[in-house]
Amino acid sequence: MSSPPTQAPKAPKHPKPAKAPQPSTADAPKAKSAKALKKEKRAAAVAARGGSEGGAAAADHGSRSTVPGAVDGAAGTAGSLPRKGPAAPGALPAQPPVPGPSAPRRPPIPASEGSTFTPSHSTLFFSHLPEHRPPHTPSAFATAKLHPLIVRLGVLMSSGELRGANARTMAMMVAFREVIREYECPDQAVLWKDLPVYLSPMIAWLETCRPKGVGGGNAIRWLKSEINKLGEQEELSEAEQKDYLVEAIDVYLRDRIEFADQVIADNAKEKIKPGDVVVVYARSSVVERVLLQAWRDMRSQDPSASFEVIVVDSRPLLEGRHLLDSLTSSGLPCTYLLLPLLSSLLPRANLVLLGASALHSDGALYSRAGTALVAMLAKEHRVPVVACVETYKFGERVALDGVATNEIGQGAELLDSPSPVTGGAAKAGNNLTPLTLM
């Protein structure tokens, strides 16, 4: 008998190595967008510059840098907000937030709490306007670059003894005429190239004493253009070139100011009829010329004809008083009042004559403070307004507001009120009684 074949014993099975758990796609970090990376780089750059500078810049400009975990307004998540309630046992007390680049900083505390800070005009709305300061004449003479006549002219302009656009422009051109006469061109130099350099410090000095305005600026540009024309006339000697400039300045003053005022007076006097009431504001040389010429011509044709002038004035300069003296000395009947009372007499007026320092390209009239109020009141009462302006005062600028090109005066002058003893009542005599309002 054959025995059944025996089977070999099977080898024990070894356990298979456990597979490493694969990370689920839900737990895998997502790739950051370019916008998020840019924000992180910006936050890192702000932090690298220092918390103080970054915080100050963020507080000043109102911009908030986004960092991981920071709250941006209402867009923050609930997990990033500090929760109120009982602290967990063993937990550390909550620390106050540290001001970072995105946290607004508190304003610095003054060194002395008792001191009060009075903001000046430079920190408010008028920082772009020139501030009137008396000129420092010793330093002007020490530079040895300014002619004594120019220094004297700057002092007169700054002190207010020389007022009016025409008066200042004529005095400036006359001073430059004398400077050119005494000028001597250095050796190895050309007059038309060296003279503008010689005049530049003087022009800058006058600008610091008082802004030259549109008329003065146009006159200076014209003078420089005349100097440049000498480059085309190289055959002239130095004396002939200076004589040419001196004569050109005389022609400019004659044609652009003196003859222009005469033409304006001839045309404006035709608008004044016998029995009219003319309103003027402050003092203008061309308006004064118009009134005096109209009065003389009207009285020469008819001795019984007449018209009345209402002189409106305002503090602190009270320039209308000088105009009042000039008109009354010629026999012209006048009424003098201050600007707040203009609306009471304007309804019986027939014409408003105004002078100006400049006329901009958009039609805006640039004149002393209070001119706009006179013009608006005249419009409300349907009274025609005529502006007397020479062509050399025409400017190419556009005035968008009434503060852009103003000059800052002394505010204390508006607060000084004349007393009954030293004011106008004492000067006028004993026939006037000061009015006291309770």
Structure confidence by residue, pLDDT tens digits, 90-147: 444 444 444 444 444 444 444 434 333 344 444 466 676 766 677 777 777 777 788 9
The model's pLDDT over 325-379, given as tens digits with 9 standing for 90+, comes to 999 999 999 999 999 999 999 999 999 999 999 999 988 898 988 999 999 999 9
The closest alpha carbon to 216, from 225, 203, 229, 226, belongs to: 203
| Domain assignment of residue 119, yes or no | no
213 and 328 fall within a common domain: no
Q: Both 179 and 283 in a single domain?
A: no
**Residue 199 corresponds to which tokens in the numbers above?**
């005049």
Domain assignment present for 423: no
Are residue 154 and residue 241 in the same domain, yes or no?
A: yes
Q: Which residue has the higher pLDDT, 240 or 99?
A: 240
Q: Are strands 365-366 and 334-338 parallel, antiparallel or unpaired?
A: unpaired
Pairwise CA distance, residues 172 & 170, whole Å: 5
* Element holding 429 (H helix, E strand): none
At 319-332, the pLDDT tens digits run 999 999 999 999 99
Higher pLDDT, 91 or 199: 199
Of the three residues 232, 263, 294, the one that is the final residue of a domain is: 263
Residue 46 domain-assigned (yes or no): no
**Quick check: 83 pLDDT over 60?**
no
For residue 360, the domain's CATH number is 3.40.50.10470
- Mean pLDDT in residue range 163-179: 94
Half-sphere exposure of 418 (CA within 13 A, CB side): 14
Higher pLDDT, 32 or 373: 373
In this predicted model, what pLDDT tens digit does every residue of 286-301 receive, in sequence order? 999 999 999 999 999 9
Please tell me the predicted confidence (pLDDT) of residue 209.
87
Please give the C-alpha separations between residue 344 and each of 68, 278, 367, in angstroms, as whole numbers.
70, 14, 23
381 shares a domain with 278: yes
DSSP per-residue string spanning 201-222: HHHHHHHHHS--HHHHHHHHHH
The type of residue at 433 is T
Sign of the four-CA dihedral 45, 47, 48, 50? positive
- Is residue 378 assigned to a domain? yes
The larger pLDDT score, comparing residue 67 to residue 219, is at: 219
Q: Tell which wins on pLDDT, 272 or 102.
A: 272
276 and 222 in one domain? no
| 3-state SS assignment for residue 155 | helix
Same domain, 281 and 354: yes
Looking at the structure, do residues 391 and 281 belong to the same domain, yes or no? yes
Q: Are residues 287 and 349 in the same domain?
A: yes
304 and 276 both lie in a single domain: yes
Residue 379 lies in a domain: yes
Report the alpha-carbon angle 171-173-174, nearest 5. 65
Domain end: 237, 263, 289, which one?
263
The mean predicted confidence, pLDDT, of the chain is 77
* Angle separating helix axes 238-253 and 165-182, nearest 10 degrees: 170
Q: How many domains does the chain have?
A: 2
> Is residue 280 domain-shared with residue 393, that is, in the same domain?
yes
Do 190 and 240 share a domain, yes or no? yes
For the chain, percent of residues with pLDDT exceeding 70: 67
Average pLDDT over every residue of 141-156: 87
> What range does the domain containing 182 cover?
137-263
Q: What CA–CA distance (Å, rounded) separates 59 from 52?
A: 10
Judge whether 246 lies within some domain: yes
Query: For residue 332, is it within any domain?
Result: yes
Residue 187 lies in a domain: yes
Give me the pLDDT at residue 46, please: 73
Cα(432)–Cα(426) distance, integer angstroms: 8
pLDDT value at position 266? Answer: 95
Percent share of the chain, pLDDT over 90: 47
Residues 178 and 225 in one domain: yes
| CB hemisphere CA count around 102 (13 angstroms) | 16
The residue out of 231, 263, 295 marking a domain boundary is: 263
Q: What is the pLDDT of residue 126?
A: 67
Average pLDDT estimate for 169-176: 96
Please give the pLDDT value at position 50.
Answer: 57
**Per-residue model confidence as pLDDT tens digits over 50-72:** 544 444 444 444 444 444 433 34
Give me the CATH number covering residue 189.
1.20.120.420
